[in-house]
């Protein structure tokens, strides 16, 4: 991709984000500054700036940029926030969060993806991220509580173990749905009186799976 083509593609992508209703300048700046082509497989480099999900290793996908932006804006990350990300994939959403937060802790259940994400983040000079292989349904108890939690996989309901790791006053954004066809993106705010739920949009994510895949070994 030539520099001119890349610039035009980025402009179209940023327009798509605004058309999706994203207005937060910090989020838009973060999306513009993170090169999505770094986080996609070589076969899809020419399509990396399109507003669509793309296949990555281990049978997973890199999320559609407009969905990444909507989720990030709903999370309302501030420079003081400690963020937990469940389902880091190739590290694209992780890099966006790292541009906005004080610290990001990211979990991915596929070890090959963790290796790739770590290399890509380091290559971009992003050093406020700790990423590890693990069961995302269990969160990261030793680092809890978190100010923000983003879940990039669909659960049947808001995961209680993750909600327990959310600081009072914190926000979780999670896709919820019991099938591959009907899912909703939910914003959950943890208050002194309980949990406030806001439905953001219809979405389609891979399921949040408990346990670890066989590829990771013992």
**pLDDT tens across 103-122, in order?**
999 999 999 999 999 999 99
Please report, rounded to a whole number, the percentage of residues in the chain having pLDDT higher than 70: 95
For residue 158, the enclosing domain spans: 3-216
Q: What is the CATH number of the domain that holds 143?
A: 3.40.50.150
Question: Whole-prediction pTM value?
Answer: 0.93
Q: What is the pLDDT of residues 6-27, one digit of tens each?
A: 789 999 999 999 999 999 999 9
Name 108's Cβ contacts closer than 8 Å, sequence gap at least 6: 87, 88, 89, 114, 117, 131, 132, 133, 134, 136
Catalytic residue among 9, 16, 48, 63: 63
Domain count, the chain: 1
From the CA atom positions of the chain, what is the Rg in Å? 16
Q: Which pLDDT band, with edges at 50, 70 and 90, does 38 fall under?
A: very high
* pLDDT value at residue 218: 38
Q: What is the pLDDT of residues 40-75, one digit of tens each?
A: 998 998 899 999 999 999 989 999 999 999 999 999
Residue 127: closest CA among 96, 159, 93, 103: 103
Q: Is 90 assigned a catalytic role?
A: no
Predicted confidence (pLDDT) at residue 204 exceeds the cutoff of 90: no
* pLDDT value at residue 214: 67
For 22, 156, 209, the CA distances from 18, given in Å and listed in that order, are 5, 30, 32
């Amino acid at each position: 991709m030539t520099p001119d083509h890349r610039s035009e593609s980025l402009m179209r992508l940023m327009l798509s984000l605004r058309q999706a209703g994203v207005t937060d300048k910090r989020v838009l700046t973060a999306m513009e500054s993170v090169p999505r082509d770094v986080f996609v497989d070589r076969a899809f480099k020419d399509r990396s700036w399109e507003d669509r999900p793309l296949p990555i290793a281990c049978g997973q996908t890199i999320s559609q940029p407009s969905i990444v932006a909507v989720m990030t804006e709903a999370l309302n990350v501030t420079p003081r926030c400690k963020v937990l990300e469940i389902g880091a994939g190739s590290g694209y959403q992780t890099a966006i969060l790292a541009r906005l937060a004080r610290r990001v802790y990211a979990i991915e259940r596929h070890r090959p993806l963790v290796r790739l994400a770590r290399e890509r983040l380091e290559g971009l000079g992003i050093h406020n991220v700790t990423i590890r292989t693990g069961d995302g349904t269990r969160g990261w108890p030793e680092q809890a509580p978190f100010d923000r939690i983003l879940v990039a996989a669909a659960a049947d309901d808001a995961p209680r173990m993750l909600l327990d790791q959310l600081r009072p006053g914190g926000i979780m954004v999670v896709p919820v749905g019991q099938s591959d066809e009907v899912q909703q993106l939910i914003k959950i705010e943890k208050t002194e009186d309980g949990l406030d739920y806001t439905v953001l949009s219809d979405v389609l994510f891979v399921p949040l799976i408990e346990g670890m895949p066989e590829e990771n070994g013992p």
